[in-house]
Every structure is written in C-alpha cells, then in structure tokens.
A and B are shown apart, each in its own frame.
Chain A
Amino acid sequence: MPYSNEQSRRAFLSLCLKGGASIAALTSLQLQALASSASSSTINDYKALVCIFLHGGSDSLNMLVPTSGSERADYEQSRQNLVVTEPITLNTTTHFSGGVGLHPSMSALEPIFNAGQLGFVGGVGTLITPTSLADYKNKAVPLPGHLFSHNDQQATWMHGQEKVSLNTGWGARILERLNQHASFTSNISLAGANPWQVGANTTPYALNKNGITKINALRGYQPQVDHVKSIVDRLLSTTTNPIQDAYASRLSSSISNVQNMNALLEQAPTLNTQFSDNPLSEQLAAVAKSLSISNQTGNKRQIFFVSLGGFDTHDDQLIRQPALFATLATALSEFHSALAELSLQESVTTFTMSDFGRTLTSNGDGTDHGWAGNQLLMGAAVNGKELHGTMLSQQLESAIDVGGGRLIPQFSNEQYFAPIAKWFGLSDIEVSDIFPNLANFDAAALQLFK
C-alpha cells in the first residue's frame, strides 16, 4: 500500500469507489463497486438485512408465553417444570386472549419493543401448504422434508423453499434479484458458510469477528511481499481438476477480499456503543463495524449473517435457556444502540430464524425437536410493538398438536420472509418468484413493516 497517510488513503478509496482511480491492490474491489453502482441505478436508498440464526432449534414457545386465563393454564399444564414464571407482559397493539408474555431474561428488549422498533411473529414454521392435523396424519398434503431434523430444517429455513434443484438461500436470491451482489462486501457472514447466503453467483464473505485479519506472508518489505504474492498467484492459478480449483480460487479470492476489507475497515470509526463479550455480541459488533463503512463500499444493499448456538436444549433447559435468551436480548439491544449511533435504524432490519420450535412436553429437564415457533424482528422500519401472526395454544393434544406438543405452524416461514424481501426492495412478483410455495398462502398476512 503506497499510502502512509490516512487522509490520502481515504480520499483515494473514495476515488476508487467512484471509478476515478486505479491501483493494483484495489482493482477487484473497484471493479466490483463499479459494477454494483452501475447496476443499482434504480436503487437510491441503502438497506441491510441482518439474520440471526438460533442454531439448534429455539424453544421460542417459551420466549413468548401466555400470561393469563385458560391459555396460561394450558401452558402450565403442558410445560410443567419448564414453565416460564414471571414473564414480562407485552402490550401488543393487537389484543391476544391470554396475553403475550416475554421471557424475563429478555428484558433488554422491552424498551425497544415499547418504542415500536421490535416486533414478534407467532406460530410460524416450515410449511409447503396450509396443513391441518388431519392432513398431517393422512399425509393429505406435501410436508417439508425431514421435519424435526436439525440440518434439514435449517436448510429449509435458509433456502426459503423446499430443496428443489438448486441449493440457493433466500438471502442470496433477493440480493441477486436486485442485482446487488457484485461486491463481495454485499454478502457478509460472521458465522462461516451457511445456505442462506449462497446464491447462483454469490457466496458469503466470511468476516473474522475481530474484523481485520493480517496475512502474515504478505507483510513487511514491499518488494518481498510483491514477489511472494506473485508466486502465490501463480500457484493458485494452475490447477488440474475442479475440486482442486475450487480450493485455489477460494484461497485466491480470500486473499484479495481480506486485503480489500482490511483497507476499508482501517477507516472504520470507533463506536461509542459497548458490546459484551458473548459470541453474538462480538459478531454483531463486527456487523456494526462493517455497516459503519457501508458508504465506502458502494453497496446499496447488504445482507449479514450471524448465529448463536446452543438452543438444542434437550437437557438443562432451565439453566441454558435463560442464559441464551439473555445473550440474544443483550446483543440485540447493543446492536440497536450501535445502529442509532450510526443513524441506520431505518435502514437495517434484524430478524431471527431457527431450526424449529420444540416440544411442549418435556423429557425431564429439556425439550425435543418440534415444529412451529416464534420469531422476532427489529428495526425502525419494523411494524413494532406488535405480535404478528398468532399466539399458538400450548395445549397438548390440541387441533395443531401432531404429538408430544409438536405444533403445526399457522403461518409458513415464507409468509414471514415475503414482507422482509418486499421491504428489501423486491416487487410482489419477484417475491412470489423467490418463494415458490408462497402462492399457497396469503402473502400479505403478516404486515411486518410500517
């Protein structure tokens, strides 16, 4: 890097991104940014989606619980020793019989909810078509493949469709549909490879949560670095078969991406918001840092993926679940502050996905793999202070219980994704194209955005 002075570097980067300068070290980024801005002529605003995946299948029917009446009694009867006591009462805009109570360890979300910047989606899950208990038992309708299996249901959530012929994720698909995927910085993961961000022409850039990653071999005396780099490039361009080539091209792009990202991140402002040192806060801190330089990358749309594991609470749920929910709420709250600091509350929507809900019945000290659950989304654009969808009855052997308290979703996850995609900028036609099963449902049932 021939620039020793921070100011000139910044000016240069800005110039590069406008297509007005050229230098070997930044060529690829420049080209990507150019391509991106050229294709985004119709998009003038900036928006980003942040997906928080709760790995393992969150018992989200314990995130939102009834607070009163027969609904509460049913809940206490089914949940027994895993009942959440003293939930925080949420004053949702829509009234729900039995009330809506938030897990007390998520109190950090209460002010955001009350400020109208956080909403919930109740009773959502993987479905191909509306499904009744009789349909399920008689196999009268197609069902998502391998219900209750972790990796299959994760894939179904992230693909946003049943696996057809291509393994593309809906995050990548909406980015590509808007033609906003040209720059690798448009598609960033803090949690490694994941199906949500893999498209036909884009894969996530896996950012280290520490942000800047130096490449040891390419530091120091510049002529040596140049020579070493030229040898690396030669090695990575001569391969003999496609699998080897996949390795080589990945390493090659990793090196250039990391170098380009480092150049950008070095300019990132220091945020006042303090993030905790839990795994999710660390990832969201890195997302916030990336967002802080979004005006430098030329992206009009970005998607981010973070994850929190440990939700597969087969045992010790009474200990593990409060800790997980507290981590989630804390990290969200910190991220919310950071977005306010960056004045990006309107532009960034954060939402959750998870493998599945869990059983209402317990296995003694935990729960097993279920089906329907609840999700949340956050952002100033969100139609907050509301529960969208429904509070599922937590009564065992009800008309939506396929056994053991595995509940049939009343809303498909594609109904949940559709408004998000629409907010991101897709037309109704594009949305129904992205989510092939949406035609089986009311696409406008969930008004998640203001």
Chain B
Amino acid sequence: MKMRFLSFAAILLLSACGGGGETNSNNDAAPDSSSSSNTNTTSPNNDRTDSNSDSNTQNNITPGSQTETPNNTVEQGDESGNESSPEEDNEESEGAADNIGTAPIVDLKPPGAVLRKGNEIIINSVVTSPTEHLTYAWTQVAGPEATLIGTDSQNLTVILPTTHSVKKDLFTFSLTVTNNAGLSTYVETDIESVNAMNEFQASALLQQATLGATLTEIQAATGLSEEEWLDQQILLEPTYHTPFLENYPDRENPSHINRIDAWWKASLSAPDQLRQRVAFALSEIFVVSDANTSLKGEPEGMVAYYDTLLKHAFGNFRTLLESVTLSPVMGVYLSHLGNEKADAERNIRPDENYAREVMQLFTIGLNELNLDGTAKLNDNNTIPTYSQQEIAGFAKVFTGWTFAYSARWDRPSRNYTLPMHAFSDYHSMEEKALLNGDIIPAGTGPEESMQQALDNLFSHQNVAPFICKQLIQRLVKSNPTPAYVERVASVFNDNGQGVRGDLAAVVKAILLDDEARKYSSVLVHSGKIKEPILTKVHLWRVLNARSELNQYYTWNLSTTYGQGPLLSPSVFNFFRPDHVPNELQALGLVAPELQIATDSNMIATTNGHYSDLVWRMAERKNTLNPKTIYMYGQSDITMLSNNGLQALLDYYNLVYFAGSMSDSTRSALVDLDSYFARKDAVHRVAQLLYMVSLSPDFNYQN
C-alpha cells in the first residue's frame, strides 16, 4: 500500500527522514487491521533530495514558507505514532528543529471498515496545533472519478463510483489545510474500494461456483466482493462424503446406491459449495467409474476417491496427481494396480493403460500446446506429445503397485481406500523413458520412479493450458478465448509466489477473470450448456428435496440424465471437451455438454424434472411415501399467493436464471400460468418450475 504525506515546504526534510520508504506508513488512521485505507506521513519519493519534483511542487499552495514547517513535520511524525522512524526523524530534523513554525498538524481518518464501490464515505480530518481560522481544500488525486461533497469542509464526503470491474478501485484524496498565517499542510490518504456484489452478480458467480445456489446462499454472498466470497469458500473445512456413506438398510455394508446417496447428501447440504463444484469438475477429468465395472461393488473406495478430489481441490496439482495415481480405485479402473514388470519368456510386458491415459487425459493431452491452449503447429501439423516409447516408459513406472497393506503381492488386501503400496520385486528396474527425453536410470525402485515420473509429467508445459482450459469449460464457458486460457494457465505456472500448480489460485483466476465476470465487454459465446445432473442438483437444493427416511436412492441417473457422479461410460467422460455439435460446426464452437443431449436423454431429463417438480411436489400430497424424495415448494407457493406471479418470477429470475430470464421467457411463463390460474397455487408453482427447468434461459449458464 502506497502512502504519501507531504508537508509543504518541509519536503526536503521530510523526504530525508522518510528514509524508511513507502512502507513506513502511519497506520493510526486505519484502526481496522484490514487497512483498506491509510494516511501516511512519510514520503515514498525516491528522489528524497529533490524538493521540486513535480508531484510535490504542484501541491504546494503557499510557497515561500519553507522555514516555518520542519518542526511540524517532526511533531506530526511523533504524533502519528510511526514506530519505525521517529528516531530518524528527530535525528535528521534536528538541524531545523529550532525553526518552529505553526503550520497545522493534520491527520486524516478515513473509514476503517472495508469500503465498497458505491459507498458514501466520510474522510475526517483532525487538526491539532492551531485549530482556529483554518481553511480546507480537498481534492481527488488519483483513481476513478468519485463525487466529492464538501471540498472546503473539515470532513469530506465521497461517493465512491460503481466501476464495472471485478478488480478493486484505488483512490488517493488530498487535503490542504491552511491557517490564518498562510501556513499550509498537505496530506494524502489512499483508499481502496472493493465490489459489493448485488444479488444478481452473486447469483451469477454462484451458478459457476456451486452445485446450484439457494436464495440463502445468494443473499449471504450479496454485498461481498467476488474475491471475498471465494476466499471464504476456500477456507471452509472440506465436507467429505465418506461420513455420509451408510449401510444399505438391513445389511452390514453399503451398496452402490449408498454411494449415490452420500453424494446427494453432501452435495445438497455442504457449505463448501465451491469445493464441491470443483471436485465434481475434477471427477470429469480424472475419471473413474463404477458404471458396469467391478468397482460397483466398492462404494467405500469410490467415495474415498471422490474425497481425494475434494481434499486436493484447492491444493497443489502435483499432489492431486499423485493421490489420483496411487488411488487403488484408479489402479483398478485403469489397471495399473497389480501391474507387473516384463517377463520376456512369457511375452508379458507392463500394462500400458494408465501410462497412456494419465498423459492423454489427466495431464498433457495428445498434442503440444501453447500457453493459451491452442495447438502448436509444425508445418501446419500438430505435434504429438508422446510416442509409444514414452508409453512403454511410463508403463514400467506403474509396475509393482498394489493394495496397501497387502501381505504379499499375490495376496492383495483389497483395501480400496488407502493409497497403493509398492512391491519392489514386481517393479521394473529397467531404464524408463519419460517425456522431454528424461530418463529414469535402470535400477530405480518403484517409489522413486513414481516421484520422478510424476515430476516429469507435472513439469510439462502442456499441463497448465490442458487442465486450465478444461476447468474453465467445466465451470464457466465452453469456448474461452485463448487469452483467458493463457491468463489462467499463467497462474497455474506461477501463482505469484513462485508456486506451480496452486489449484486454489487457478480456481480464483478462472472465476475472477473478466471473461467469467463480464463486467466489461459481453462476449457472444460467453457461456455453456448446464450439465443435466447439475440442473437437477440446483432444483433439489433450492426446493429442499428430501425423503422422510432421508434416503436419496436415485437409481437411474445415467439413463435419465445421461450422467451421474463417477458414472461415466468410459475414462473419456460423458462428453469430450472438444465436442463440436452439428449445429455449431459452421461457427466452430464446442459445446461438450451437448454430446449427451440426444433425443432419448433430453426427453428423459425433462421427464425427470417433470416427475420431480410436478408429480413429487410435497405440498400436492396428502400422505407422503417415506422413501420418496419430494420437492418442498411452500415458500414459492406462499409467495405466489401473497405477492403474485411477477414477484415469484422475480425470485426465479434471481435464483434459477441469475438475472438472465429474458422478457420472452417471462411472458411465456405468465401465459403458461394464465391457463392454470383457476388451479391452486401449488399446481401453478409446479407447472412454472417445470417450464423453468426446460427453458433455454435456465439451461444456458451465461
């Protein structure tokens, strides 16, 4: 934070005694520890001997009184409680100390709380030493233009502008106080203002950053800046899913449906929604699945895998990569668990499955990329990132690993929740070729090989653009500009503190980017189709979906929504990040989510919404089936009854549309309701919600 204080005519001296530089700020005017504003009594002026520098002289309003002021400066320095410089001040100003003038000693007291754009604030000035016959002159020195009221008063009222940017605004205001002897003191104060999200901005952020926000969550975020909300979310304790995993009724173990049940319970209730959303996104990159695989019988392992993603969602990518690689669930899914070194006699060589997919899907992709995610070209041809040689090398790395605490290699413990352990005897000790020509020398054991191989993958230049672009696509938009990808990828490569792979910083960079927040230009292809399962989660969160037995046994997620948590049909996820639907081919736009928007899936999804919202609206029932999951629409029903249709649509516009409900959508909903006007409010609400659920405005996250 840059602070300045310049007492006219004392510049030379003051500059000299401000030797501590700009960090020697006087903080007494900012009692709050967050210090959003400060006055400063020292000069940052690098050229401390030059009293005639532009910035100084232009603020001198009564030149020619130089001799009168040095002492004031000293006094002010003392009074300001500057802990680091008084000694210096005294020492260095000693020569002038006898020449005591009577210029006012001025202290500025801007508000202590976090200041927000649009706030009306008052900057108080406190003048000690002669306090009579003073004149005040306030000006704005820097920052976006603010409205100043009372520029000749002791205290300045400022209306901070509501700039359209996610970034904070920085202002400098100055005050010159002149006494009747013509002696003046010039002081400045720096102020910063942060966004206060309005409720629509909050809703838009939470569409991208939660599994579907409720009104309460939107209201809690309203008034905060985007960054404050993200920081709060990142600091929340992770809500892991394992504690939600229950045994199947009357059994001693959980079954597959209990894993789904746990996912619902956590997803619906967890306060750390950002982490839940990012983990869900990661589950579509680091894909494992128990749809039609042996893992269907390992719900504990599957939930533990999801917890791994949750745990590292804001951690470091390198750690995440290692945890995923050593997960026994991944080991089974991509068959590197139990993978053995070569046996030439039996024509057996290491399994290449994980070696291939960890490169193609989890880290670097098939082709060399620029930082902005576009393909590098050589004579108009893409450049492959690896060949069979590297696959064979990594395949050797992933040998010798099996379930933790296995007594022997051939007696696996089948512990699906702890990271795999290695048996050196089954690990390939051959030389292993890695990327970029790196080699693991012969004789290197399994743990060391693993570390070197993962370091090698992690250090590849493709990782940042490859992963960041996909995260942008999962959270924000299908077609990010290369510049957006590059900005985020740069943060992946260095979070500003020299750390590579800081996922919290990456997530913040994604969500705070202009292209995500759209404070500046609105881009045409600025959003994405929502994932069908996430539209369901959103509706369920808002409508407080629950069964009396507190069971969320949703058996048919894949056939109804074309997807579900950890239910991908293959390691290639439900849809590919580069899927170009036929409709968008001419425009060259991708829309990954539309890969599963087949006729049968789309009808099944709308039917799923219909049965939730119309058939299973609790208020329509006289008796509830304890196992059935109902929607609870009472607050909507009350609002419709008491405040009318427009009020209800305003609420829907906020919660479901983040303000993007078009006039035509609204009028269609009004006309829908006109048909049901004679029916009871619950019926009307159900029909409206169903129509919301299939509307293009709701299904497009903008």
Which residues on the B side are within 8 Å of A255 (C-beta)?
A: 603
A366 in contact (CB, < 8 A): yes
A81-B347 Cα distance, complex, nearest whole Å:
9
Q: Mark A147-163, 1 if CB is under 8 A from B, else 0.
A: 01111100000000000
CB distance from A365 to the nearest CB of B (A): 8
CB distance from B567 to the nearest CB of A (A): 13
Which residues on the B side are within 8 Å of A231 (C-beta)?
A: 668-669, 671-672, 691
User: B347 to A309, Cβ gap below 8 A?
Assistant: no
User: B351 to A242, Cβ gap below 8 A?
Assistant: no
A240-B128 Cα distance, complex, nearest whole Å:
62
User: B694 to A166, Cβ gap below 8 A?
Assistant: no
* Known contacts A167-B580, A239-B700, A315-B351, then 4 further A-B pairs from the complex at CB < 8 Å, ordered by chain A residue: A151-B576, A216-B607, A246-B584, A309-B570
A436 in contact (CB, < 8 A): no
User: A235 to B525, Cβ gap below 8 A?
Assistant: no
Give the residue of B349, B351, B615, B696 whose beta carbon is less than 8 angstroms from that of A235: B696
Give the residue of B353, B604, B611 whose beta carbon is less than 8 angstroms from that of A368: B353
Centre residue among B334, B347, B596 by max chain A CB count within 10 A: B347
**Shortest beta-carbon contacts, A-B, top 5:** A206-B598, A363-B351, A246-B583, A216-B610, A244-B700
Which residues on the B side are within 8 Å of A141 (C-beta)?
A: none
User: B599 to A207, Cβ gap below 8 A?
Assistant: yes
Give the residue of B350, B525, B572, B699 whose beta carbon is less than 8 angstroms from that of A151: B572
Which residues on the A side are within 8 Å of B672 (C-beta)?
A: 227-228, 231
A241 in contact (CB, < 8 A): yes
Which residues on the A side are within 8 Å of B292 (C-beta)?
A: 309-310
A254 in contact (CB, < 8 A): yes
User: B691 to A232, Cβ gap below 8 A?
Assistant: yes
A146 in contact (CB, < 8 A): yes
B600 in contact (CB, < 8 A): yes
CB distance from B366 to the nearest CB of A (A): 6
Give residues in A with beta carbon < 8 Å to B. 55-56, 77-81, 146, 148-152, 166-167, 189, 192-193, 198, 203-208, 213-217, 224, 227-228, 231-232, 234-236, 238-251, 253-255, 257-258, 309-310, 312, 314-315, 360-364, 366, 368-369, 396, 403-405
Centre residue among A152, A207, A217, A239 by max chain B CB count within 10 A: A217
A75-B690 Cα distance, complex, nearest whole Å:
60
Instruction: Assess A243 versus B352: contact at CB under 8 Å? Given A152-B366, A309-B570, A403-B388.
Output: no
Nearest A-chain residue to B562, judged by Cβ = A192
CB distance from B418 to the nearest CB of A (A): 21
CB distance from B689 to the nearest CB of A (A): 12
User: A251 to B694, Cβ gap below 8 A?
Assistant: yes
A-B contact pairs, 9 of them (CB 8 A): A193-B596, A238-B664, A243-B529, A244-B699, A361-B347, A361-B348, A361-B349, A362-B346, A363-B352
Centre residue among A207, A239, A251 by max chain B CB count within 10 A: A251
Which residues on the B side are within 8 Å of A257 (C-beta)?
A: 599
Give the residue of B335, B350, B528, B600 whose beta carbon is less than 8 angstroms from that of A315: B335
Instruction: Assess A248 versus B696: contact at CB under 8 Å? Given A146-B366, A238-B662, A241-B524.
Output: yes
Which residues on the A side are within 8 Å of B614 (C-beta)?
A: 216-217
Which residues on the A side are within 8 Å of B610 (C-beta)?
A: 216-217
CB distance from B158 to the nearest CB of A (A): 38
User: B583 to A314, Cβ gap below 8 A?
Assistant: no
User: A245 to B351, Cβ gap below 8 A?
Assistant: no
User: B525 to A241, Cβ gap below 8 A?
Assistant: yes
Instruction: Assess A206 versus B356: contact at CB under 8 Å? Given A231-B672, A241-B524, A364-B339.
Output: no
Nearest B-chain residue to A402, judged by Cβ = B388
Nearest B-chain residue to A255, judged by Cβ = B603
User: A366 to B335, Cβ gap below 8 A?
Assistant: yes
Which residues on the B side are within 8 Å of A314 (C-beta)?
A: 334-335, 351-353
User: A366 to B584, Cβ gap below 8 A?
Assistant: no
Q: Mark B651-677, 1 if CB is under 8 A from A, else 0.
A: 000000000001011001101100100
Nearest A-chain residue to B337, judged by Cβ = A315
Nearest B-chain residue to A250, judged by Cβ = B597
User: B694 to A148, Cβ gap below 8 A?
Assistant: no
Give the residue of B525, B569, B596 whose beta carbon is less than 8 angstroms from that of A242: B525
Instruction: Assess A363 versus B691: contact at CB under 8 Å? Given A217-B610, A245-B583, A258-B599.
Output: no
User: B600 to A207, Cβ gap below 8 A?
Assistant: yes
Which residues on the A side are within 8 Å of B544 (C-beta)?
A: none
Nearest A-chain residue to B479, judged by Cβ = A243
User: B591 to A243, Cβ gap below 8 A?
Assistant: yes
A232-B675 Cα distance, complex, nearest whole Å:
14
Which residues on the A side are within 8 Å of B235 (C-beta)?
A: none
Q: Mark B568-601, 1 if CB is under 8 A from A, else 0.
A: 0110100010001111110101010011111111
Which residues on the B side are within 8 Å of A214 (C-beta)?
A: 607
User: A250 to B603, Cβ gap below 8 A?
Assistant: no
Nearest A-chain residue to B663, judged by Cβ = A238
Which residues on the B side are within 8 Å of A79 (C-beta)?
A: 347
Nearest A-chain residue to B611, judged by Cβ = A216
Give the residue of A198, A207, A208, A250 whose beta carbon is less than 8 angstroms from that of B604: A208
A214-B608 Cα distance, complex, nearest whole Å:
12
Which residues on the B side are within 8 Å of A239 (C-beta)?
A: 696, 700
User: B335 to A251, Cβ gap below 8 A?
Assistant: no
Which residues on the B side are within 8 Å of A148 (C-beta)?
A: 356, 388, 391
User: A205 to B585, Cβ gap below 8 A?
Assistant: no
Nearest B-chain residue to A227, judged by Cβ = B675
Instruction: Assess A198 versus B582: contact at CB under 8 Å? Given A150-B570, A361-B348.
Output: yes
B325 in contact (CB, < 8 A): no
Instruction: Assess A247 versus B529: contact at CB under 8 Å? Given A240-B662, A242-B587.
Output: yes
B482 in contact (CB, < 8 A): no
A167-B579 Cα distance, complex, nearest whole Å:
10
CB distance from A220 to the nearest CB of B (A): 11
Which residues on the B side are within 8 Å of A150 (C-beta)?
A: 570, 572
Nearest B-chain residue to A150, judged by Cβ = B572
Nearest A-chain residue to B355, judged by Cβ = A368
A249-B599 Cα distance, complex, nearest whole Å:
11
User: B583 to A249, Cβ gap below 8 A?
Assistant: yes
A198-B594 Cα distance, complex, nearest whole Å:
14
Instruction: Assess A224 versus B675: contact at CB under 8 Å? Given A55-B570, A216-B610, A238-B662.
Output: yes
Nearest B-chain residue to A230, judged by Cβ = B671
User: B599 to A206, Cβ gap below 8 A?
Assistant: yes
CB distance from B238 to the nearest CB of A (A): 32
